[in-house]
């Protein structure tokens, strides 16, 4: 075991947790959020939705299976959700210095250092989680000795602009042309589309995609407050006029909601887990979903043309909406999973069916 | 939504046996609770009288009858239920259910199978149908060929290529299964497997693959969840019941985890399960390739473990789903605000470790493999793997203190032990690491994933750090904390840092305790809340860890907590009966409005169900951990007398730490435990006991034996190998035994006692208050003394004791209660010969027979005892054993079939794994019920008798006559044949196995021409042992009922000759 430096996490409310540094040894500030998933740290860490956030893993043993190779397939990393680590810092209880997996290339520690992301272990992540649960997600900073730093609220930044592609990229050569509006898209959305006979045109968050020739629009996930994406919302409104199928995920769901006239609000401490139950409105059909969001649509604010599609059974918040007559729908959870349960991947099939129907 | 069912039959699993143990008491109890909550009337059939589920208020009607189709049909006929639950009583209930269905009984009486449809069960039970079924949805199963003959098995193995695995269809926990690397091994394995099933499977071997399990739930709306996944530390090839298992999986990436999860859901949907099932996978350690190994369409050992590991009550939910509810209609019983449709998120790791008792058997192979031999298990919870496994290795209770700082293994070849695992494998890994084997080398030999081995290496590396210090003051706090986070106990620290010797240990480990408390190094209490802290939970399911800085709960410290110490891992001699005692003590504590606190770590129990008490600490029963909890709770007191020997052994230590022990004073407990002190007490009150002496040299032993005469009972305090205790009948045997089995010295004295032959053994289970006898039950053994009381067949109320004997036994109980100033439960064993009565044992705690006598007498002795211990007034029960107009019999269940090569013979050391207790109108009614309930069958036609010593020949003569009159064909080995002929009982002579003459006993057994084997061991001469052993072992291996005690054999024969099976009473408990 290497020599370990001391490092601490300071919360906005003054609470301090001292731990040991196992990543890149530097100070950072961000919003502290927790995730209760028990697997999938390489996927989570590269998920652009975590941009600006200091992630707490409630599962205590992390790093067990290392970090996978950076092989590429169809022009995107095969095992990562984006090209880099997006979290600002990682907080865990017990780090496995030695990893074991046939597909691993690096240790988590090496990977964090390469990506210049700090990591803290040996703190009571359950106690920390309970604070976040009681008081809500809050700002925090990781501080190393002799390098102080100010608190910083990433939700004030245009995080989407930070994580979106800078210019249009086209993937695949399938029958159905899908515009992927990249507000921080996870690669698995791309993979899920590409394996369904599509050509994916990935465009920057503020790109006027209505100029493109397309069969359907995929609104991706992404970080931060949806109100930051005014330009995207405007483009979605134009696309709604055009009327071709639209499928939104996570931030994409919120943007579609706002574009339709609904309101969003910030959840106390968000949903970040692999075990969130949702029920399809008006049915007895339930799914376990992967979630990662801090904002949600207020169901009450939906306009009369729209209706809820899914609810969260835990806290009854909205988990998806659909237009009553037009081929527009979206989910707050992640049907592309990665990481997390794959129960709702069929929604991509439904999206493709809509495209085929409306072509 | 909810089905219209008013009355439901629930099938239990019968006696505890290897592969089917306490987990089904937990599952069944949960199911009954769920039904009760829905207002459904419940009828439980389960002869296991020591279980919690067969207690008042849990089921509406309880039948202590065998779980076989004929008895169940009679109950159905009588009770007229509209539904039946088959998934909560293990393989026993499932097999019985399938037979009921196939015989058209369920249809005939219009009984609906609730939950998973019976066809789905049949589909998963028959491996060929199952493999085809999964093939339909492109799910991979191991290449497997079902065969019904040896020739076809050989052919199939040729097609697949060796090594292969052989499995018998429709068996419990892999019975008759095993790996074969060549044709010879295959033939012998297959012969054996065919004795259990007429279909066997020859399968590709996936040895070395990871073994991963998922617990999957589906409701009638097709909603599915996986509640938990688990990863075996031991790779495939070792039965999951024999493996160390962790939850959740540790070495699976997200894609592997969710690929297998997705498949599990696909499978449960395709099979059509409504309720719970378990899917076992083999996962290639070098790719994402997988095979589905097994699907159990019922609650299982793994599902009980998963329930305890996650806090998700699988059995309870499954029962509700059987009534038609959807998962989203039900509430998460932990948060009480979120639905049961979710998947628990853990923020800790659990580690299950099996408990073996192979030392209790002579001749048994110690190797572990694809069939199950363990008798119990523990679950340890921690926030590091190191913490969980070290806790766990202590919990198993085999004298180990964790992963390191143990006594070295004796005569072990490390390489061999790693490559061909026995029950000691984990300790071989420990020794290998300390002998500087690399992780790579150990991995090559064991195929255990390197992640686990690296973690174990952390423990062993830290041992070196600790050893480098020689005092607590010199030990840096950082190293102390790191040790505690890795699960090091104070004991290990005392041994490694203070270099403490065993005799001074108690004192030394308290020094460690004092030191670390002064440094603020104390464990933290965390909740198991199913949501990893995401939602607030009012749950009191707790564990302690050193990876934490803040307790999850606030302590009242109001002196209102009553801590009940549980029984730990099930083992031979301590099992579900102590769980019943613990649960009943908790019930009484609850009724009295004290805060009930349980400490136990056995996932197979009801006492570790978090809603049975106000606070459950799923943690160690070591002095250290119990004191940690006492420091937090500041309790009114601790109850040490309902959980068997483990808590009993803590009594004095707690007392020395000024902990209030409720009930009998630990000083008095010690007076009963200490042989010398107890002896002088008996002398004082004028009660007799067999002569005994504690001796330190061979000469002294012989001198003592000259005085008392043979036979004698020899009890070494340090056992080299073989049985710990033995009866020897002559000088040669004594020399032989002492030479082979025991070490005699000042440090390791041997206790030799006079052994009284032909004596009746009597049990007293009683409760006293301030030295006055309050309630008691006296029962008798059918066997003469010499058979361990746990292996004996016990009759209550006694049917064949003189009234005079009973009167005197009661008087002795009274004197002892007074002499030891008992306040609480106690148990005594006595010998009676003529009217001469001697005390052989006395324990100031509840005993194995407490639930049995309490239920037969219908006076809950534990409730009374707990009231006494709480200092409440108690009334003497108005009923005693003379008032009963029915008879209860407790019969042992053996698991020899699973213990290959073990000699299935009874002796002074206990070897049964479970028991039943049945109630009948009369003695024979009860004998017959109980014998059938432990798996005996009334023989059809042919009985083989080897009647052993002259005394048992005589004993069996009348029985033999009766059998002849009933038209049975008797076969006998030479001595018995001759003796019976002289007494005009005609038998067919069968030659002894080693005689090589026809007709031979062995052939008759192997060809299944015999329906019952009675083989009474004669003496310990080699020849006798070999021949007798062969017959007994073959009887077990070819699944023919075997009796080895003449008194029990007579009782059984009389019973089935005097009573027809159809005359057995079908009466529920409340009808007696």
Mean local confidence (pLDDT), B1051-1060: 96
Residues 297-326 of B with CB under 8 A from A: 326
Residue of A nearest to B257 (CA): A39
Residues 301-340 of A with CB under 8 A from B: 313-314, 337-340
Mean local confidence (pLDDT), B882-901: 94
- Dihedral (Cα; B959, B961, B966, B972), 10-degree rounding: 80
Determine the pLDDT at residue B723.
59
CA distance, residue A236 to nearest chain B CA (Å) = 33
Confidence band, pLDDT 50/70/90 cuts, at residue A44? very high
DSSP A221: -
- Chain B residues closer than 8 Å to A103 by CB: 253
- Evaluate whether B1032 touches B769 at the Cβ level (below 8 Å): no
User: Is A336 tagged catalytic?
Assistant: yes
| Residues B1025-1035: tens digit of each pLDDT | 788 999 999 99
Vertex B958: Cα angle to B955 and B961 (nearest 5):
140
CA distances from B601 to B374, B376, B379, B615, B1011 (A): 17, 11, 6, 13, 42
- Tokens representing A249? 């995920």
Task: Assess B536–A contact: CB distance below 8 Å, yes or no.
Answer: yes
CA distance, residue B783 to nearest chain A CA (Å) = 54
Cβ <8 Å between B248 and A129: no
For B256-319, give the DSSP string: HHHHHHHHHHHHHHHHT-SEEEEEEEEE-TTSS-EEEEEEESS--HHHHHHHHHHS--HHHHHH
pLDDT at A217 over 60: yes
User: Residue A31, SS3?
Assistant: strand
Cβ <8 Å between B349 and A65: no
CA dist., res. B691 & res. B275, Å (int):
59
- With b for 16 or more beta-carbon neighbours within 10 A and e for fewer, the B1007-1033 pattern comes to eebbbbbbbbbbebeeebbebbbbbbb
Strands (E), B284-434: 290-296, 349-355, 376-382
Vertex B388: Cα angle to B382 and B391 (nearest 5):
115
End-to-end CA distance of chain A: 59
Cβ <8 Å between B252 and A39: yes
Could you tell me the pTM of the whole model?
A: 0.95
- Say which of A37, A274, A313 has its CB closest to residue B328: A313
pLDDT at B720 over 60: no
Range with the poorest average pLDDT among B140-144, B594-598, B969-973: B140-144
Cβ <8 Å between B347 and A338: no
Mean local confidence (pLDDT), B932-948: 96
Residues above pLDDT 70, as percent of chain A: 99
Determine the pLDDT at residue B696.
87
- Chain A residues closer than 8 Å to B346 by CB: 38, 59
Confidence band, pLDDT 50/70/90 cuts, at residue B1021? low
Per the DSSP assignment, residues forming a β-bridge with B358 are none
- Chain B residues closer than 8 Å to A61 by CB: 250, 349, 384-385
CA distances from B600 to A62, A290, B396, B414, B625 (A): 29, 35, 12, 33, 11
Residues 243-272 of B with CB under 8 A from A: 248-255, 257-258, 261-262, 265
Residue B377, Cα to own-chain centre: how many angstroms? 8
- Say which of A100, A284, A342 has its CB closest to residue B258: A342
Confidence band, pLDDT 50/70/90 cuts, at residue A145? very high
Mean local confidence (pLDDT), A100-113: 97
- Tokens representing B927? 């004998």
CA dist., res. B795 & res. B810, Å (int):
17
Mean local confidence (pLDDT), A273-300: 97
Average pLDDT, whole number, for chain B? 94
CA distances from A58 to A11, A333, A339, B267, B362 (A): 17, 20, 15, 30, 48
Cα torsion A176, A181, A182, A184: sign: negative
Mean local confidence (pLDDT), B311-325: 97
- Say which of A65, A101, A275 has its CB closest to residue B343: A275
Cβ <8 Å between A100 and B451: yes
C-alpha atoms less than 13 angstroms from C-alpha of B362 in its C-beta half-sphere: 19
Residues above pLDDT 90, as percent of chain B: 82
pLDDT at B746 over 80: no
Task: Assess B737–A contact: CB distance below 8 Å, yes or no.
Answer: no
- Tokens representing A251? 């931030």
| Residues B457-467: tens digit of each pLDDT | 999 999 999 99
Question: Which H/E stretch holds residue A119?
Answer: strand A119-121
Range with the poorest average pLDDT among B83-92, B157-166, B677-686, B1062-1071: B157-166
Task: Assess B548–A contact: CB distance below 8 Å, yes or no.
Answer: yes
Cβ <8 Å between A133 and B533: yes
In which residue are the tokens 């008081």 written?
A: A135
Catalytic residue among A31, A43, A51, A336: A336
**In this structure, are strands B914-920 and B887-893 parallel, antiparallel, or unpaired?**
antiparallel
Task: Assess B290–A contact: CB distance below 8 Å, yes or no.
Answer: no
User: Is A213 tagged catalytic?
Assistant: no
Pick the closest to residue B300 from B10, B13, B528, B607 (CA basis).
B13
Cβ <8 Å between A314 and B342: yes
Determine the pLDDT at residue B741.
67
Residue B623, Cα to own-chain centre: how many angstroms? 24
- Tokens representing A296? 């949600």
Determine the pLDDT at residue B474.
96
Per the DSSP assignment, residues forming a β-bridge with B618 are B600
Confidence band, pLDDT 50/70/90 cuts, at residue A359? confident
pLDDT at A336 over 90: yes
- Evaluate whether B704 touches B744 at the Cβ level (below 8 Å): no
Per the DSSP assignment, residues forming a β-bridge with B752 are B693, B714
Cβ <8 Å between B345 and A61: no
Cβ <8 Å between A102 and B287: yes
| Residues A133-142: tens digit of each pLDDT | 999 889 999 9
Q: Angle of helix B425-434 relative to helix B439-446, nearest 10 degrees?
A: 150
Interface test with A, best of B214, B265, B464, B532 (most A CBs within 10 A): B532
Pick the closest to residue B28 from B39, B18, B16, B681 (CA basis).
B16
DSSP B839: E
Task: Assess A43–B contact: CB distance below 8 Å, yes or no.
Answer: yes
- Evaluate whether B150 touches B202 at the Cβ level (below 8 Å): no
Task: Assess B341–A contact: CB distance below 8 Å, yes or no.
Answer: yes
Average pLDDT, whole number, for chain A? 96
CB contact set of A295 (below 8 Å; sequence gap of 6+)? A225, A226, A254, A264, A265, A266, A267
Q: How many CB pairs under 8 A join A and B?
A: 170
pLDDT at B874 over 70: yes
Cβ <8 Å between A100 and B349: no
Cβ <8 Å between A340 and B254: yes
């Amino acid at each position: 075991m290497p020599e370990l430096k001391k490092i601490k996490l300071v919360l906005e409310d003054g609470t301090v947790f001292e731990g040991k540094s196992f990543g890149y040894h530097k100070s950072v500030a961000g919003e502290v959020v927790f995730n209760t998933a028990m697997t999938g740290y390489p996927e989570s860490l590269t998920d652009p939705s975590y941009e600006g956030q200091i992630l707490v893993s409630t599962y205590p043993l992390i790093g067990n299976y290392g970090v996978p190779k950076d092989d590429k397939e169809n022009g995107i990393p095969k095992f990562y959700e984006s090209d880099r680590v997006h979290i600002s810092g990682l907080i865990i209880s017990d780090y496995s210095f030695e990893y074991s997996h046939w597909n691993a290339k690096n240790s988590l520690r090496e990977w964090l250092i390469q990506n210049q992301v700090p990591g803290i272990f040996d703190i009571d992540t359950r106690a920390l989680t309970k604070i976040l649960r009681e008081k809500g997600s809050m700002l925090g900073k990781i501080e190393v000795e002799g390098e102080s730093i100010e608190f910083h609220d990433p939700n004030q930044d245009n995080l989407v602009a930070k994580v979106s592609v800078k210019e249009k990229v086209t993937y695949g050569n399938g029958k159905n042309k899908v515009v992927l509006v990249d507000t921080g898209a996870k690669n698995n959305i791309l993979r899920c589309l590409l394996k369904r006979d599509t050509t994916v045109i990935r465009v920057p968050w503020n790109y006027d995609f209505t100029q493109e020739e397309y069969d359907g629009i995929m609104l991706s996930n992404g970080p931060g407050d949806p109100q930051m994406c005014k330009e995207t919302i405007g483009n979605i409104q134009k696309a709604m006029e055009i009327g071709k199928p639209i499928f939104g995920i996570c931030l994409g769901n919120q943007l579609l909601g706002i574009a339709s006239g609904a309101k969003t609000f910030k959840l106390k401490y968000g949903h970040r887990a692999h075990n969130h139950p949702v029920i399809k409105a008006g049915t007895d059909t339930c799914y376990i979903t992967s979630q990662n969001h801090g904002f949600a649509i207020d169901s009450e604010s939906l306009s009369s043309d729209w209706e809820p599609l899914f609810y969260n059974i835990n806290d009854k918040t909205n988990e998806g909406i659909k237009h009553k007559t037009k081929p527009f729908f979206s989910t707050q959870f992640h049907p592309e999973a990665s990481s997390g349960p794959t129960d709702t991947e069929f929604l991509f099939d439904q999206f493709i069916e809509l495209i085929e129907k409306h072509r | 939504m909810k089905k219209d069912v008013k009355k439901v039959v629930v099938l239990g699993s019968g006696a505890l046996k290897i592969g089917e143990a306490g987990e089904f008491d937990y599952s069944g109890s949960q199911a009954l609770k769920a039904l009760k909550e829905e207002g459904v009337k419940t009828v439980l059939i389960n002869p296991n009288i020591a279980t919690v589920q067969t207690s008042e208020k849990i089921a509406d009607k309880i039948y202590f009858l065998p779980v076989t189709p004929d008895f169940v049909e009679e109950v159905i006929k009588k009770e007229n239920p509209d539904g039946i639950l088959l998934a909560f009583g293990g393989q026993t209930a499932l097999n019985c259910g399938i037979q009921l269905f196939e015989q058209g009984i369920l249809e005939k009486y219009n009984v609906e199978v609730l939950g998973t449809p019976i066809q789905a069960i049949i589909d998963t039970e028959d491996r060929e149908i199952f493999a085809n079924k999964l093939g339909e949805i492109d799910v991979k199963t191991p290449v497997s060929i079902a065969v019904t003959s040896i020739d076809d098995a050989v052919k199939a193995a040729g097609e697949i290529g060796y090594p292969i695995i052989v499995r018998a269809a429709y068996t419990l926990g892999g019975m008759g299964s095993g790996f074969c690397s060549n044709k010879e091994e295959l033939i012998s394995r297959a012969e054996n497997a065919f004795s259990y099933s007429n279909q066997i499977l020859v399968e590709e071997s996936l040895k070395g693959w990871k073994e991963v399990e998922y617990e999957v739930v589906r409701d009638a709306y097709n909603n599915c969840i996986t509640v938990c996944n688990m990863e075996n530390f031991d790779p495939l090839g070792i039965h999951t019941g024999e493996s160390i298992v962790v939850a959740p999986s540790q070495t699976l990436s997200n894609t592997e985890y969710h690929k297998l999860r997705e498949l599990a859901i696909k499978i449960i949907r395709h099979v059509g399960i409504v309720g719970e099932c378990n899917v076992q996978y083999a996962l290639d350690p070098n790719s994402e390739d997988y095979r589905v190994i097994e699907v159990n369409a019922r609650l299982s050992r793994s599902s009980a473990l998963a329930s305890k590991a996650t806090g998700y009550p699988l059995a309870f939910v499954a029962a509700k789903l059987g009534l038609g509810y959807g998962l989203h209609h039900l509430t998460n019983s932990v948060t009480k605000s979120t639905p049961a449709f979710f998947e628990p998120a853990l923020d800790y790791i659990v580690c299950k470790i099996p408990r073996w008792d192979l030392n209790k058997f002579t001749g048994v192979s110690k190797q572990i493999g694809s069939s199950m031999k363990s008798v119990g298990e523990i679950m340890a919870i921690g926030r590091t793997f190191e913490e969980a496994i070290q806790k766990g290795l202590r919990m198993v209770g085999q004298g180990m203190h964790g992963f390191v700082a143990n006594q070295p293994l004796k005569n072990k070849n490390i390489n061999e032990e790693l490559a061909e695992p026995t029950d000691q494998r984990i300790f071989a890994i420990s020794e290998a690491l300390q002998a500087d084997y690399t992780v790579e080398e150990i991995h090559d030999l064991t195929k255990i994933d390197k992640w686990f081995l690296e973690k174990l290496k952390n423990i062993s590396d830290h041992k070196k750090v600790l050893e480098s210090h020689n005092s607590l003051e010199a030990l840096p706090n950082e190293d102390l904390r790191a040790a505690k986070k890795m699960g090091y106990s104070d004991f290990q620290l005392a041994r490694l840092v203070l270099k403490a010797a065993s005799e001074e240990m108690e004192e030394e480990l308290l020094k460690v305790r004092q030191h670390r408390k002064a440094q603020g190094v104390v464990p933290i209490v965390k909740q198991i809340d199913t949501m990893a802290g995401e939602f607030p939970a009012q749950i009191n399911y707790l564990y302690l860890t050193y990876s934490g800085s803040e307790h999850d709960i606030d302590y009242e410290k109001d002196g209102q907590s009553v801590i009940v110490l549980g029984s730990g891992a099930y083992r031979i001699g301590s099992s579900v009966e102590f769980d019943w005692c613990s649960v009943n003590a908790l019930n009484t504590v609850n009724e009295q409005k004290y805060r009930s606190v349980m400490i136990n770590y056995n996932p197979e129990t009801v006492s570790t169900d978090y809603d049975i008490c106000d606070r459950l600490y799923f943690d160690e029963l070591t002095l250290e951990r119990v004191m940690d909890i006492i420091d937090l709770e500041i309790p009114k007191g601790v109850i040490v007398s309902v959980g068997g020997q483990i808590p009993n052994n803590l009594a004095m230590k707690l007392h020395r730490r000024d902990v209030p022990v409720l009930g009998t004073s630990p000083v008095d407990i010690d007076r009963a435990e200490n042989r010398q002190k107890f002896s002088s007490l008996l002398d004082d009150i004028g009660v007799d006991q067999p002569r005994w002496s504690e001796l330190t040299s061979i000469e002294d032993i012989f001198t003592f034996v000259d005085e008392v005469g043979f036979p004698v009972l020899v009890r070494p305090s340090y056992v080299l190998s073989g049985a710990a205790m033995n009866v020897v009948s002559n000088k040669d045997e004594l020399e032989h035994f002492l030479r082979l089995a025991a070490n005699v010295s000042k440090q390791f004295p041997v206790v030799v006692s006079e052994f009284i032959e032909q004596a009746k053994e009597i049990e007293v289970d009683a409760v006293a208050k301030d030295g006055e006898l309050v309630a008691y039950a006296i029962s008798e053994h059918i066997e003469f003394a010499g058979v361990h009381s746990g292996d004996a067949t016990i009759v209550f109320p006694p049917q064949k004791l003189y009234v005079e004997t009973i009167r005197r036994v009661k008087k002795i109980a009274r004197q002892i209660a007074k002499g030891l100033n008992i306040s609480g439960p106690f148990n005594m064993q006595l010998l009676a010969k003529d009217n001469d009565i001697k005390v052989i044992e006395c324990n100031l705690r509840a005993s194995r027979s407490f639930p049995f006598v309490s239920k037969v007498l219908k006076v809950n002795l534990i409730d009374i005892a707990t009231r006494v211990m709480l200092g409440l007034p108690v009334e003497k029960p108005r009923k005693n054993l003379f008032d009963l107009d029915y008879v209860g019999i407790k019969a042992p269940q053996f698991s020899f079939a699973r213990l290959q090569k073990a000699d299935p013979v009874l002796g002074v050391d206990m070897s049964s794994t479970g028991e039943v207790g049945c109630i009948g109108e009369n003695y024979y009614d009860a004998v017959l019920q109980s014998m059938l309930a432990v798996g005996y069958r009334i023989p059809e036609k042919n009985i083989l008798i080897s009647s052993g010593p002259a005394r048992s020949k005589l004993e069996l003569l009348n029985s033999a006559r009766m059998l002849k009159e009933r038209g049975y064909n008797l076969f006998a080995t030479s001595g018995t044949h001759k003796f019976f002929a002289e007494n005009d009982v005609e038998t067919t002579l069968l030659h002894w196995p080693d005689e090589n003459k026809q007709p031979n006993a062995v052939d008759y057994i192997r060809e299944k021409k015999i329906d019952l084997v009675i083989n009474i061991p004669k003496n310990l001469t080699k020849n006798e042992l070999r021949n007798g052993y062969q017959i007994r072992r073959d009887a077990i291996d070819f699944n023919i009922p075997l009796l080895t005690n003449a008194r029990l054999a007579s009782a059984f024969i009389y019973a089935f000759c005097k009573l027809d099976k159809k005359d057995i009473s079908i009466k529920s408990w409340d009808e007696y």
